[in-house]
Amino acid sequence: MKWVNNIVSTILMILLISVASIVMISKFSGGEPQAFGYQLKTVLSGSMEPGIKTGSIIAVKPNVEKDKFKKGDVITFQEEDGTLITHRISEVVKTPETVLYRTKGDNNNTEDMNPVLPANVVAEYTGFTIPYVGYFVSFSQSKNGAFLLLIPGLLLLLYSGYTIWKALSELEIAQKKQVDLLAKEGENSSS
């Protein structure tokens, strides 16, 4: 039973620390979490499926040379309205003044309408993805996201209370046995 208690305590603690870390990193970074020089982005559409599933977290490398990409690279770029999109480069168009990237989602039938200027490239996709975790991160960034910290925290608090109550009960039983044993010894020595 003790190893079950240890496993449950460890799982709840890891869950609490993980949720707290994701929420705090998201809030402090002003949006997407960042770790070891990589940004974590949430994918909200199916345009890159099956390689990148809707609701996935992807790691992208910001601060890259924006005019060095080639056909087949996957980049994250910003649209005029501020929306971030991660698509594959289908064609590199070089002009005397600049480079333009034509992009297309792997799951889309046609290329994106507007070519991407190097100045609009935010990051390069690294190939690292975790499916479905993006739903969780997206929710944690919402106003209700702080609620996520309460659930594992409350579970950990309740479980700690139960563990303390159980330990005190066992201590009380052991003390009662000791008192009964001393009382019996007292009776045996007086007779």
Residues known to be catalytic: 45
What's the rounded Cα separation, in Å, for the pair 89 and 47? 13
* Angstrom distances, CA of residue 104 to CA of 78, 88, 115, 121, 190: 14, 5, 10, 14, 95
What's the rounded Cα separation, in Å, for the pair 90 and 93? 10
Would you give the DSSP letter of residue 115?
Answer: P
Would you give the DSSP letter of residue 113?
Answer: S
* 85 CB-near residues (< 8 Å, 6+ apart): 47, 76, 77, 78, 79, 103, 112
